[in-house]
Amino acid sequence: MSSINFDQVTKRYPDGTLAVDELNVSIDDGEFMIFVGPSGCGKTTALRMVAGLEEVTAGTIQLDGRVINEVDAADRDIAMVFQNYALYPHMSVGSNLSFPLRMRRASRDEVRARVAEVAALLGIEELLGKKPRELSGGQRQRVAMGRAIVRHPKVFLMDEPLSNLDAKLRVQMRAELVKLHRTLGVTTVYVTHDQTEAMTLGQRVTVMDRGVAQQVDAPQDLYDWPANTFVASFIGSPPMNFVAGTLESGRLRFGELDLPLPDDLLDRLDARSRDIAVGLRPECFVSVGHNSAEQTVRGQVEIVERLGSESVVYFKVHDVELLEFGERPIELQGTLCARMPAGVRAQPGDLLEVEVQRELVRLFDRETGRALLDAPVRRREAIGESSGARR
pLDDT, tens digit only, all 391 positions of the chain: 589 999 999 999 999 999 999 999 999 999 999 999 999 999 999 999 999 999 999 999 999 999 999 999 989 999 988 877 788 899 999 999 999 889 888 899 999 998 998 898 888 999 999 999 999 888 888 898 888 888 888 999 999 988 877 888 788 888 888 988 998 899 999 999 999 999 999 999 999 999 999 999 999 999 999 999 999 999 998 999 999 999 887 788 888 888 888 777 777 777 666 889 999 999 999 887 545 555 788 899 999 999 999 999 999 988 888 888 866 665 566 889 999 998 888 899 999 999 998 889 999 999 899 998 877 654 444 443 434 444 3
DSSP string spanning 154-193? SEEEEESTTTTS-HHHHHHHHHHHHHHHHHH--EEEEEES
Asked if 214 and 310 count as a contact pair (C-beta separation under 8 A), the reply is no
Domain at 233-365, CATH class = mainly beta
Q: Which residues contact 162 (CB under 8 A, 6 or more apart)?
A: 141, 169, 170, 173, 174, 192, 194, 197
Which stretch of DSSP H or E encloses residue 207? strand 204-209
Helix, coil or strand: residue 34? strand
* DSSP assignment letter at 381: B
pTM for this model (two decimals): 0.86
Q: Which residues pair with 191 in a beta bridge?
A: 35, 159
Domain ranges of the chain: 4-224, 233-365
d(CA 361, CA 279): 6
Assigned CATH for 4-224: 3.40.50.300
**Per residue in 262-295, pLDDT tens?**
777 777 777 666 889 999 999 999 887 545 555 7
